[in-house]
Amino acid sequence: MLRIVVREMEEERRITGRRKVLKAGTIAFGQAAGIDCRIRNISDKGACLEVESQFGIPETFTLVVPHDAIMRVAHIQWRSANRIGIAFD
């Protein structure tokens, strides 16, 4: 038996719209620590990052995007299995 579940769209809570992208980035913290990530969408206020594992990612870190010469301090807003929503400080 096929069961279809319909969910109402969640209300958009972001202040600014995000641009869909697929860029390489690094979650940088500590002296030399860093975790590779993929940036799925980004705005002036925050981003959605895709990671292999949530293990070891602190609540506050610096997002480094070498391709765009970006270094932004950020904190985590939400987490899922392999994605992290962040807000820039």
pLDDT at 26 over 50: yes
pLDDT at 18: 66
Do the beta carbons of residue 40 and residue 49 sit within 8 Å? yes
- % of the chain with per-residue pLDDT over 70: 80
* Nearest partner of 56 among 38, 39, 79, judged by Cα: 79
pLDDT average, residue stretch 41-66? 95
pLDDT average, residue stretch 12-34? 79
Structure tokens belonging to residue 34: 């860093």
Write down the pTM of the prediction: 0.77
Domain ranges of the chain: 19-64+76-88
User: How many residues can be counted in the chain?
Assistant: 89
Do the beta carbons of residue 38 and residue 50 sit within 8 Å? yes
Per-residue DSSP letter, 67:
G
